[in-house]
Amino acid sequence: MNKILLIFISISFVGNISAVEKVTIEDRLINIEKDIAVLKEGQKALNQRIDDMNANLGKRIDDTNKRIDDLHDLMLWGFGILFVMMIALFGYIVWDRRTASSPVVKKTAELEKMHSLILNALKKYAQKEPKLAEAMKSFGLL
Protein backbone atom coordinates (compact mmCIF):
# COMPACT_ATOMS: atom_id res chain seq x y z
CA MET A 1 0.00 0.00 0.00
CA ASN A 2 2.82 2.33 0.80
CA LYS A 3 4.36 1.53 -2.52
CA ILE A 4 1.19 2.41 -4.38
CA LEU A 5 0.91 5.65 -2.52
CA LEU A 6 4.54 6.42 -3.24
CA ILE A 7 4.07 5.70 -6.95
CA PHE A 8 0.95 7.83 -7.11
CA ILE A 9 2.71 10.77 -5.44
CA SER A 10 5.73 10.45 -7.74
CA ILE A 11 3.54 10.42 -10.86
CA SER A 12 1.64 13.48 -9.73
CA PHE A 13 4.91 15.23 -8.85
CA VAL A 14 6.42 14.37 -12.24
CA GLY A 15 3.23 15.60 -13.91
CA ASN A 16 3.52 18.89 -12.04
CA ILE A 17 7.14 19.27 -13.00
CA SER A 18 6.38 18.67 -16.63
CA ALA A 19 3.50 21.15 -16.46
CA VAL A 20 5.80 23.76 -14.94
CA GLU A 21 8.44 23.14 -17.57
CA LYS A 22 5.95 23.61 -20.37
CA VAL A 23 5.70 27.34 -19.59
CA THR A 24 8.41 28.83 -21.75
CA ILE A 25 10.17 32.13 -21.62
CA GLU A 26 8.20 33.31 -24.66
CA ASP A 27 4.94 32.62 -22.83
CA ARG A 28 6.23 34.55 -19.87
CA LEU A 29 7.24 37.45 -22.12
CA ILE A 30 3.80 37.47 -23.72
CA ASN A 31 2.18 37.50 -20.27
CA ILE A 32 4.49 40.30 -19.16
CA GLU A 33 3.66 42.31 -22.30
CA LYS A 34 -0.05 41.80 -21.65
CA ASP A 35 0.43 42.90 -18.05
CA ILE A 36 2.37 45.98 -19.22
CA ALA A 37 -0.41 46.82 -21.71
CA VAL A 38 -3.04 46.49 -18.95
CA LEU A 39 -0.93 48.65 -16.63
CA LYS A 40 -0.51 51.31 -19.35
CA GLU A 41 -4.26 51.38 -19.93
CA GLY A 42 -4.82 51.67 -16.20
CA GLN A 43 -2.27 54.47 -16.00
CA LYS A 44 -3.96 56.31 -18.89
CA ALA A 45 -7.32 55.99 -17.14
CA LEU A 46 -5.78 57.18 -13.89
CA ASN A 47 -4.14 60.15 -15.64
CA GLN A 48 -7.48 61.00 -17.25
CA ARG A 49 -9.21 60.91 -13.85
CA ILE A 50 -6.50 63.13 -12.37
CA ASP A 51 -6.87 65.59 -15.28
CA ASP A 52 -10.66 65.61 -14.81
CA MET A 53 -10.23 66.23 -11.08
CA ASN A 54 -7.78 69.07 -11.77
CA ALA A 55 -10.22 70.64 -14.23
CA ASN A 56 -13.06 70.27 -11.72
CA LEU A 57 -10.91 71.73 -8.95
CA GLY A 58 -9.89 74.65 -11.18
CA LYS A 59 -13.55 75.33 -11.96
CA ARG A 60 -14.45 75.23 -8.27
CA ILE A 61 -11.59 77.59 -7.41
CA ASP A 62 -12.75 80.00 -10.13
CA ASP A 63 -16.32 79.80 -8.80
CA THR A 64 -15.08 80.46 -5.27
CA ASN A 65 -13.02 83.45 -6.42
CA LYS A 66 -16.06 84.82 -8.27
CA ARG A 67 -18.18 84.45 -5.13
CA ILE A 68 -15.53 86.23 -3.05
CA ASP A 69 -15.40 89.05 -5.60
CA ASP A 70 -19.19 89.30 -5.54
CA LEU A 71 -19.17 89.47 -1.73
CA HIS A 72 -16.46 92.14 -1.88
CA ASP A 73 -18.54 94.22 -4.28
CA LEU A 74 -21.63 93.72 -2.13
CA MET A 75 -19.78 94.89 0.98
CA LEU A 76 -18.47 97.97 -0.85
CA TRP A 77 -21.96 98.85 -2.06
CA GLY A 78 -23.40 98.22 1.41
CA PHE A 79 -20.88 100.46 3.14
CA GLY A 80 -21.25 103.11 0.43
CA ILE A 81 -25.02 103.18 0.86
CA LEU A 82 -24.63 103.25 4.65
CA PHE A 83 -22.28 106.26 4.52
CA VAL A 84 -24.52 108.09 2.03
CA MET A 85 -27.50 107.49 4.33
CA MET A 86 -25.54 108.82 7.33
CA ILE A 87 -24.52 111.97 5.41
CA ALA A 88 -28.11 112.44 4.23
CA LEU A 89 -29.35 112.08 7.83
CA PHE A 90 -26.80 114.63 9.03
CA GLY A 91 -27.90 117.02 6.28
CA TYR A 92 -31.54 116.53 7.24
CA ILE A 93 -30.75 117.25 10.88
CA VAL A 94 -28.93 120.50 9.98
CA TRP A 95 -31.74 121.56 7.64
CA ASP A 96 -34.40 120.75 10.26
CA ARG A 97 -32.61 122.75 12.95
CA ARG A 98 -32.27 125.77 10.68
CA THR A 99 -35.89 125.67 9.62
CA ALA A 100 -37.06 125.13 13.19
CA SER A 101 -34.86 127.91 14.61
CA SER A 102 -35.54 130.58 11.94
CA PRO A 103 -39.08 131.39 13.23
CA VAL A 104 -37.69 131.60 16.75
CA VAL A 105 -34.95 133.98 15.62
CA LYS A 106 -37.52 136.18 13.81
CA LYS A 107 -39.87 136.19 16.79
CA THR A 108 -36.99 137.02 19.14
CA ALA A 109 -35.94 139.94 16.93
CA GLU A 110 -39.52 141.23 16.91
CA LEU A 111 -39.77 140.92 20.69
CA GLU A 112 -36.45 142.72 21.21
CA LYS A 113 -37.61 145.53 18.93
CA MET A 114 -40.92 145.71 20.78
CA HIS A 115 -39.08 145.68 24.12
CA SER A 116 -36.85 148.55 23.09
CA LEU A 117 -39.83 150.55 21.83
CA ILE A 118 -41.77 149.97 25.04
CA LEU A 119 -38.73 150.84 27.16
CA ASN A 120 -38.19 154.05 25.16
CA ALA A 121 -41.89 154.95 25.53
CA LEU A 122 -41.74 154.34 29.28
CA LYS A 123 -38.58 156.44 29.59
CA LYS A 124 -40.25 159.30 27.73
CA TYR A 125 -43.35 159.03 29.86
CA ALA A 126 -41.17 158.79 33.00
CA GLN A 127 -39.80 162.28 32.20
CA LYS A 128 -43.33 163.64 32.72
CA GLU A 129 -44.36 161.36 35.61
CA PRO A 130 -41.97 161.37 38.57
CA LYS A 131 -43.60 158.31 40.24
CA LEU A 132 -42.92 156.21 37.13
CA ALA A 133 -39.36 157.52 36.97
CA GLU A 134 -38.85 156.56 40.62
CA ALA A 135 -40.24 153.03 39.99
CA MET A 136 -38.05 152.56 36.93
CA LYS A 137 -34.95 153.69 38.88
CA SER A 138 -35.74 151.18 41.60
CA PHE A 139 -35.76 148.38 39.01
CA GLY A 140 -32.68 149.72 37.23
CA LEU A 141 -34.42 150.60 34.01
CA LEU A 142 -33.30 154.24 34.00
Report the pLDDT averaged over residues 103-128.
91
Q: What is the pTM of this model?
A: 0.46
Percentage of the chain exceeding pLDDT 90 = 53
The pLDDT mean for the chain works out to 87
Lowest mean pLDDT among 6-10, 11-15, 41-45, 75-79: 11-15
Q: Indicate the domain borders of the chain.
A: 2-102
DSSP character at residue 23: S
| Residues found in the chain | 142
Q: pLDDT tens-digit profile of 30-77?
A: 888 889 999 999 999 999 999 999 999 999 999 999 999 999 999 999
Decide: residue 135, CB within 10 A, 0-12 exposed, 13-18 middle, 19+ buried.
Answer: middle
